Amino acid sequence: MLILKKTFNYLIVNKPSGIICDTKRNNNIIQLIIEDLKKDLPFVSSSQFRIVQRLDKYVTGGLIIARNGKFAKKLNIDKDLVLKKYVGLIGYQNELKSKVKMVDNFGIIENDVVAYNERSKLMQNYNAKTHFKLLPHMKTKSLGKNVIPIIIQIETGRKNQIRDHIYQNFTTTLLNDDKFPLFKTITSNDNSINLNSEIFKSNQIGLHCGYLKMGNDEYTFPLIDDDQELWSNYITEDGQLMEEIKHELIKFEV
């Protein structure tokens, strides 16, 4: 279930792990969409689509893909048109501690995010803001770690922001993202450096864009077949997020 909705202006898609949101590289989301659409639209072309939102390669879930330049520009100008919320899985060994003060398991992380600037070829600081709610009552175990789900909404869209803020604030990574601290030290796009886990078939990490709203339309996104193993404690047999997770995503407000 890659494409959830098709309109004249946009597609709502459910991105699998391992797919890149960059048309300059192979195995990207537009190529996957074209492959899917050609069953009914044999003359469809990649030039008809614009990537206006991005998810990291091994992050899964909801995305909007513009079908024309006019709508892409509209989305880029009005950032409030689309609301996205994420569910993450934090893996830790002994005790999970937040550096920021939490009230009823809610918190706000406002640390700068350091990222590589392609233009200047230098590392640069970017301001960033992430809202979250921990769900400690849903604690489980996976990969030899304790696991707690976390609901997330970001105000800024910095590269790797959620993964970076989780590591900064909790001094641990999202589940199956153990190499993220090393990844942050790499200042090039050297694809020969493997910084991702290979435990699971799709190498997914514990971060999923599970909720998207545009106008009056709301969507929740299941885990696609190959991405379900890591999330097995928090999904139903058909890959849908547990009702409690969906409820927390929908009601979470900043």
Instruction: Encode 171-188: b = buried (16+ Cβ within 10 Å), e = exposed.
Output: ebbbbbbbebeebbeeee
Positions in the chain whose pLDDT score sits under 50: 188, 192
Contact yes or no for 47/69 (Cβ under 8 A): no
Q: Does residue 78 carry a catalytic annotation? A: no
Task: Supply the pLDDT for residue 123.
Answer: 79
pTM for this predicted structure: 0.91
CATH number among 3.90.420.10, 3.40.640.10, 3.30.450.40, 3.30.2350.10, domain 3-251: 3.30.2350.10
Give residue-wise pLDDT tens across range 61-96: 999 999 999 999 998 888 788 999 999 999 999 999
pLDDT tens sequence across 170-200 = 999 999 998 888 877 765 455 545 556 556 5
- Residue 245: helix, strand or coil by DSSP? helix
Question: Domain locations in the chain?
Answer: 3-251
Please name the residue that has the structure tokens 């971060």.
Answer: 207
Look at residue 174 in the predicted model and tell me its pLDDT: 96
DSSP label at 247? H
The residues, any chain, with a CB within 8 Å of residue 220's CB and separated by 6 or more, are 210, 211, 240, 241, 246, 249, 250
What does each C-alpha distance from 185 to 99, 115, 164, 188, 218 come to in angstroms? 22, 9, 12, 9, 37
Maximum Cα–Cα distance across the chain? 55
Q: What is the pLDDT of residue 107?
A: 98
22, 36, 40, 56: which one is catalytic?
A: 56
How far does the chain reach from its first CA to its final CA, in angstroms? 30
**Residue 218: strand pairing partners:** 213
CA atoms of 148 and 144, how far apart (whole Å): 13
Place of tokens 């709508």: 71
Please tell me the predicted confidence (pLDDT) of residue 200. Answer: 59
